[in-house]
Amino acid sequence: MNIIIFSKDRGCQLELLLRSMKIHFKEWDKQKISILYTYSNVPFKNGYEITKKLHPEFNYVLEKDFKKDLLSLMDKTIELSTFLVDDIIFKEDFSMGDEKIKQIEEDGDVLCLSLRLHPNLTYCYPAKVKMISPYLHSGYVPKHNKFTWYGKTGDFGYPMSLDGSIFRTYDIMVRLEKLNYNNPITLESNLAASPIMRPIMMMFDKSIIVNNPVNKVQTFNQNVHGNISADFINEQYLKGKKISL
């Protein structure tokens, strides 16, 4: 699977993502994992140098032209692709041998498998809206946690997320090549405006990953976030500290 991780000014938080991935993702070392990163100043650059030494197995690419860099990292011969951001954490075990992975390959109606969603979510924090489980009115959970995403509330109706949605590489490459974007924010917003036209999303009983938005490092939108600054975290990282999993 192609796995592209987007990161800016968060070498310490990226380190936690990579560490948790090694613990919970059984076949992490068999995937094509690339980190497309950038930084604002020398201390943040030094933070990434620490992460590279701690996790040298990954492909680190310093961003120069976001779209060109991203396209160069995508291997079209690999059937599946997903994207992660650096404040994500793996919290449950995951394997490419899971039956849901086979469903993406075999069921042409499946748009994506989300590593972040699960049936009991009730609130979408970026949009500040309540979410209704897609199974609430049906009364049962279908096999493989499949549901139709059209018209659903919050994240249940938002399949084109860059937070751990696994797509067919062919499907997503068509959009990566044609859309205009220059950072992860504009990429996701344009993907959301031009979703893959397949009706089904899938998810797990428990979310495999969780997003921990303790800070914001971009100025393109006003996403909800916490108040632990990237500067503070990086300062602690340069002193030899790491975030506890």
**Total domain count, the chain:** 1
CATH number at residue 180: 3.90.550
Q: What is the pLDDT of residue 125?
A: 85
Is 44 contained in some domain? yes
- Tokens representing 193 are 């405006």
In a domain, 147, yes or no: no
In the structure, what pLDDT confidence band is assigned to residue 228 with cuts at 50, 70 and 90?
A: confident
Average pLDDT over residues 128-135: 87
Q: How confident is the model over 166-221, as pLDDT tens digits? A: 999 999 999 999 999 999 999 999 999 999 999 999 999 999 999 998 867 766 66
The CA-atom distances, in angstroms, between 161 and each of 123, 153, 167, 194, 220 are 16, 14, 10, 12, 17
8 within a domain of the structure (yes/no):
yes
DSSP assignment, residue 92?
S
90 contacts 18 by C-beta, under 8 angstroms: no
- Residue 93, domain member (yes or no): yes
Look up the domain containing 84 and give its range: 2-106+159-196+206-238
pLDDT digits (tens, 9 = 90+) for 68-93: 999 999 999 999 999 999 999 999 99
pLDDT for 194 equals: 94
Is residue 114 one of the residues assigned to a domain?
A: no
- Residue 145 belongs to some domain of the structure: no
For residues 74 and 206, give the distance between their C-alpha atoms in angstroms, rounded to a whole number.
28
Cα radius of gyration rounded to whole Å, the chain: 18
- Say if 27 falls within a structural domain: yes
Evaluate whether residue 154 is within a structural domain.
no
What's the pLDDT score for residue 222?
64
